Amino acid sequence: MSASIPQILDGKALAQKIQLELKEKVATLESKIGRPPGLAVLMVGDNPASAVYVRNKERACQKVGIASLGKHFPGDATQAELAETIKELNQDDRVDGILVQLPLPEHLDSISLLHCIHPDKDADGLHQVNLGKLVRSESGLRSCTPAGVMRLLQEYHIPISGKKAVVIGRSILVGKPVALMLLEQNATVTMAHSRTENLGAVCREADILVAAVGKPEMITRDLVKPGAVVIDVGINRVEGKEGKSKLVGDVAFEEVAEIASYITPVPGGIGPMTVAMLLSNTVESYRQFNTPDVD
């Protein structure tokens, strides 16, 4: 027996609402601080997907009133060049947030570059200091995609405390931080991954199921408990009809939507929320370190 029609968790609409709120906040702060907030996105090479993401981020910055201070490097840029640029941006008073667009070309070490970013300007929330603050439940800049997941759950008043949450995927970008954020909200959290035995049984226990594995439509109806809240973090480009590519998530949307109580679409779910949280982190850094009367 199928559940009633699920409610779509509309990340696109919420992201637009957040952008309007940030625009008002920036206008108020800019009159006191005397400059707009600044975000520097560093991109290396010509990865088409990365180019789209960077353009989207720059457009979103423009809407909110954040200055885009990014730099585009050729594909053969060296580790030393990038590290030096990050060092300069750390000391640049116009810059409140720094982001290295991943993935980087194979000859570059992304982890050491992320560590070069000052924790207070870590717009992506991936520096070990900020991840450590998350582990300790201390305030700090949070990883954008997991923070977007939590903000979307909050917007739709979805109860988390006491619920069973299963996170599929254990990356430092999404899986681990979103598990910690759910735990912080008193969920009972299970992390599943490629080595999990009897994955179906684990997933079917979930009141809240977060899919972050990067495998197109891996989560099928038989892996989902009827009435579960399903959060699809995956963005996979696959070939559709007539050879045209299309975006799909990690969840087989049509069939899972028949039994879920809430579900995120792809596109239009977590993707826009990630960008909204990036802008939010940048504005928060701008506010915190430029207004002396903050809490």
Q: What H or E segment, with its residue span, contains residue 273?
A: helix 270-290
For residue 247, list its beta bridge partners. Answer: 237
Alpha-carbon span 209 to 224, nearest angstrom: 8
Taking the alpha carbons of 211, 255, 276, 77 in that order, is the dihedral positive or negative?
Answer: positive
Alpha-carbon span 1 to 134, nearest angstrom: 40
4 labelled ligand-binding: no
Q: What are the phi and psi torsion angles at 235 (to 5°)?
A: -130, 105
Catalytic residue among 10, 19, 96, 101: 101
Catalytic residue among 10, 96, 122, 124: 124
Active site residue 57: yes
| 271 within 8 A of 247, measured Cβ to Cβ | no
Active site residue 207: no
38 labelled ligand-binding: no
Which is it for strands 245-248 and 236-239: parallel, antiparallel or unpaired?
antiparallel
Q: Both tokens of residue 96?
A: 């409140």
Full 3-state SS string of 42-103: EEECCCHHHHHHHHHHHHHHHHHCCEECCEEECCCCCHHHHHHHHHHHHCCCCCCEEEECCC
169 labelled ligand-binding: yes
50 labelled ligand-binding: no
Catalytic residue among 25, 57, 121, 225: 57
Residues recognised as catalytic? 57, 101, 124
Binding residues for NADP(+): 169-171, 235
